[in-house]
Amino acid sequence: MIRIERITDRHLNALCELEEKLFDASSFPLSRRAFSYHIKGKGILLGAFEGETLAGYILVFMYTKSGRVYSLGVAPEFRRKGIASMLMERAQEIVMGRRKSTLRLEVRSDNLQARKLYNELGFVIEKTLPAYYPDGADGLKMVKTLS
Ligand SMILES: CC(C)(COP(=O)(O)OP(=O)(O)OC[C@H]1O[C@@H](n2cnc3c(N)ncnc32)[C@H](O)[C@@H]1OP(=O)(O)O)[C@@H](O)C(=O)NCCC(=O)NCCS
């Protein structure tokens, strides 16, 4: 069974190992120092756990009127089980509870699986971000209005 819980300092090693599996230099991976900062920050950092194993995580930044999904990832062996959807839905509830009206995110335009996920979760493309990523790939800014 998967549990969604806040990530704390004791999960830092597992989180850094997961990040290494998920993102290479072309996708802005987060450093240990950055995770450590976000654990204490005002954003939302949630993990999906099976037992003690960290299967996935989501990091959402909070702005005045909106939230921004900065990162979302699920370990390869846990994919297609609905974990990213669970993380996103839980984060979205928290964002709504903090009275924000929109949720935004950026995704590589060539990341078709993530785009399909976001599409199904109700995000729409707001604009294209030409050559947004370090390797020159375009990005898409997507938005969802929370009700
Ligand atoms: C994208 C990612 C987060 C999806 O995680 P996940 O837990 O497998 O996603 P879910 O199981 O919640 O998928 C929900 C829906 O999204 C779509 N989807 C997810 N992965 C997909 C894939 N590989 N191919 C096609 N559709 C996919 C499907 O519609 C899926 O529903 P279904 O399984 O009933 O068909 C995961 O593949 C990942 O971590 N990728 C690498 C990191 C990354 O790209 N993060 C996003 C950066 S913006």
129 neighbors 138 (Cβ within 8 angstroms): yes
The average pLDDT across 52-64 equals 97
Over 90: is that where the pLDDT of 7 sits?
Answer: yes
Report the CATH number at residue 66: 3.40.630.30
Mean pLDDT of the chain: 96
Q: Which helix (H) or strand (E) holds 85?
A: helix 83-97
Query: Is residue 113 in contact with ligand 1, taking CB distance under 6 Å?
Result: yes
- pLDDT tens for 73-95 read 999 999 999 999 999 999 999 99
Q: What is the pLDDT of residue 28?
A: 83
Domain, as residue range, for 122: 2-145
Tell me how many domains the chain contains.
1
Burial class of residue 42 (count of CB atoms within 10 Å of its CB; 0-12, 13-18, 19+): exposed
Structure tokens at 131: 């050559």
pTM: 0.96
Sheet order of strands, 139-145 included:
2-6, 44-50, 53-62, 66-74, 102-108, 139-145, 124-129
Atom number of ligand 1 nearest to Cα 75: 39
